[in-house]
Structure 1
Amino acid sequence: MSGGSSKPPVPVAIVGPTASGKSALGLDIAERLGGQIVNVDAMAQYRGMDIGTAKPPVAERRGIIHHQLDVLDVTETATVARYQDAARADIERLLGTGITPVIVGGSMLYVQALLDDWSFPATDPLVRAGYEQQLADIGVAAMHRLLAEVDPQAAATILDTDGRRIVRALEVVELTGKPFAASAPTIGEPRWGTIILAVDRDTAALDERIARRTGQMFTDGLVAEVEALCEAGLREGVTAPRAIGYAQVLDYLDGTIDLDQARELTFIGTRRYVRRQRSWFRRDHRITWLDGGDPDLLTTAMGVVGSD
């Protein structure tokens, strides 16, 4: 399935929880297949958000081309719809030239938008603006109660602190006359026949890796990175300043928490996110699960992927 193979390439997706070892395996598989990486981590799309997203430094990418990294400024809003269009175009282009796309990351909605048949409902700026103004007027908790009245299922799945998704759900319900869930994708044959692998580890081992990674991020200069991004407009962004690690450092810079609290809350936020990732990906019957602690992880993965 490499560029020189007689068989057409088939994409390989490597998903799963944060800190499980996806990036390293993705590089190994891309190297083995002569492929290129397509990032599917929402926050790694942002230029300058390097330390807090554990973005592989250029020097550690082994000369392998990466797509959908560093494609947004921190003032821009990351949307699933924009990513879906751009990443699908990248993959179609790679497949057309006989190169294997290796899709790597753990952003759940992004993975599903890329691999499944998902058409996003239209948006109406006036309707959206109305709900955004209402959010500003009455607050996120009251908006969540409003959503519960018109779409109880959506309210049950959207956090009562997530104003952006509450507004989007209300907009979709108003525009389509259907529940928000009606626009969700159906899990079927993955697009392009993609082989989907997920890397996970024992919970205690993964928690230890998250703690170590979090500590390393602060040691490596996460605070200085956030300060520099503030100069580039981080606080004016909609999605970038809410990223785990970045939001906590912003609170530290604002004086609402101290540095130890910022570090601890980053660890807690990452661990909570990992639980959501596991729950989400475990529902996908197409995934082959791999143990990130397997000393023969690449061999095991390639046994699933197959190669000429």
Structure 2
Amino acid sequence: MQPQERLVVIVGPTAVGKTALSLTLAKRLGGEIISGDSMQVYRYMDIGTAKVSPAERAVVPHHLIDIVNPDEEYSVALFQQMATRLIREINQRGRLPFIVGGTGLYIEAVTHRFRFAQAEQDPQLRERLKRLAETEGVEALHRRLAQIDPVTAKRLHPNDVKRVIRAIEIYELTGKTMADFQQRAEQSPYNLYMVGLTMDRARLYERINQRVDQMIADGLVEEVRRLLERGYDPSLVSLQGLGYKELIPYLQGACTLEEAVAEIKKRTRRFAKRQLSWFRRMPEVHWYDLSNPKDYPTIVNTIHCTLAGKFAHTPNI
């Protein structure tokens, strides 16, 4: 019987400290990091997606960062395919793969091998749905999806017209929803350890606010302006990301910078709540509370010892 491939996953809400912990553990344990963030795949979008710096990437190898342009399609199925291949290759090198990020669907699609619909395409149906979006608005198209597949509709933005159309198409052709196809395997195929990071809500929200302020200071407004100057359409899925969508109205003169920043902070706090809800329903996650900074060194050492013990018979631990 083939031994299970090893995999460490670090999840949690935005700004909780996933990156810092992953860099420490990966350096100690001979690891390589696969980004589990659906926005870090895009080039030219560095500040708003909180990518690790080039210096940090030089210390620990990182994967699935800067692999597509903002106007190119990327999907959870593609992420699953790429991450699965990388996990195998990293294991074969005798190193320890880490998936680190906060995009729950992407991560769970890998850890529990979601199946994705193989339905054919119907060009006529797609054209009708596209016309519906053009004549009645993207919200009308999104409402149609919500009636047949509320689970998928909840995670897709109305502006993500291509994926909304695909979800409707799958239902029309198969009688099953996209959510029906994305069923979770009962057990992970990996020798898996999942770390979940959390902290007191007030402290987390304070860290989120500080992070947004730092992004603005680091030049997030200029980053968004450059994307628009490159000709990228504001309705692109990539530009609907937190920090980008809210600054576009400011750059178009529709609101003040203070209003845009306040909106980023509000929406990021809401996003953090949704992230926690997603990960808390995963029984495999081992939770660690980072509310008290004094506890951090002990927590790091505890996780390190746990991983070293779990993977003690592998060559790099």
2:198–2:289 Cα contact (<8 Å) kept? yes
Q: Which residue of 2 aligns with 1:210?
A: 208
Q: Whole-Å Cα distance in 2 between the matches of residues 191 and 65 of structure 1?
A: 24
Matched, 1:16 2:18: no
Q: CA deviation at 1:60?
A: 2.9
CA displacement 1:90-112 (0-9 Å, x = unmatched): 11111112111011000111111
Q: Which residue of 2 aligns with 1:109?
A: 105
- For the aligned residues, what is the CA RMSD? 2.3
Mean Cα deviation higher: 60-69 or 205-214: 60-69
Q: Whole-Å Cα distance in 2 between the matches of residues 73 and 161 of structure 1?
A: 21
Matched, 1:194 2:196: no
Count of residue correspondences: 301
Match among 76, 80, 83 for residue 80 of structure 1: 76
Q: How does 1:101-250 map to 2 (within 5 A)?
A: 101-122=97-118, 124=121, 126=123, 127-149=125-147, 151=148, 153-154=150-151, 157=154, 161=158, 163-164=160-161, 165-235=163-233, 238-250=236-248
2:152–2:178 Cα contact (<8 Å) kept? no
2:5–2:191 Cα contact (<8 Å) kept? no
Q: CA deviation at 1:257?
A: 1.5
Match among 243, 249, 252 for residue 250 of structure 2: 252
Mean Cα deviation higher: 170-179 or 292-301: 292-301
Q: Secondary structure at the match of 2:278?
A: helix
Q: Whole-Å Cα distance in 1 between the matches of residues 173 and 272 of structure 2?
A: 33
Q: Which residue of 2 aligns with 1:3?
A: none
Q: Secondary structure at the match of 2:144?
A: helix
CA spacing shift, 1:159–1:188, aligned 2, 3 Å: same
Equivalent residue letter for 1:124 = Q
Q: Which residue of 2 aligns with 1:299?
A: 301
Q: Whole-Å Cα distance in 1 between the matches of residues 266 and 159 of structure 2?
A: 18
Q: Secondary structure at the match of 2:40?
A: helix
1:14–1:22 Cα contact (<8 Å) kept? yes
1:198–1:289 Cα contact (<8 Å) kept? yes
Q: CA deviation at 1:260?
A: 0.6
CA displacement 1:245-282 (0-9 Å, x = unmatched): 01111111111111111111111111111111011111
Percent of aligned pairs with the same residue? 37
Q: Secondary structure at the match of 1:255?
A: coil
Equivalent residue letter for 1:290 = Y
2:234–2:248 Cα contact (<8 Å) kept? no
Q: CA deviation at 1:152?
A: 5.8
Q: Which residue of 2 aligns with 1:65?
A: 61
Q: Whole-Å Cα distance in 2 between the matches of residues 306 and 66 of structure 1?
A: 21
Q: How does 1:251-270 map to 2 (within 5 A)?
A: 251-270=249-268
CA spacing shift, 1:240–1:28, aligned 2, 3 Å: same
Mean Cα deviation higher: 172-181 or 34-43: 172-181
Q: CA deviation at 1:62?
A: 5.4
Q: Which runs of 5+ in 1 are unaligned?
A: 1-6
CA spacing shift, 1:102–1:152, aligned 2, 3 Å: closer
CA spacing shift, 1:145–1:250, aligned 2, 3 Å: closer
Q: Secondary structure at the match of 2:39?
A: helix
Q: CA deviation at 1:236?
A: 6.4
CA displacement 1:144-200 (0-9 Å, x = unmatched): 443354x26447745784653543321221121113321122152223222111111
Equivalent residue letter for 1:88 = T
Q: Which runs of 5+ in 2 are unaligned?
A: 313-317
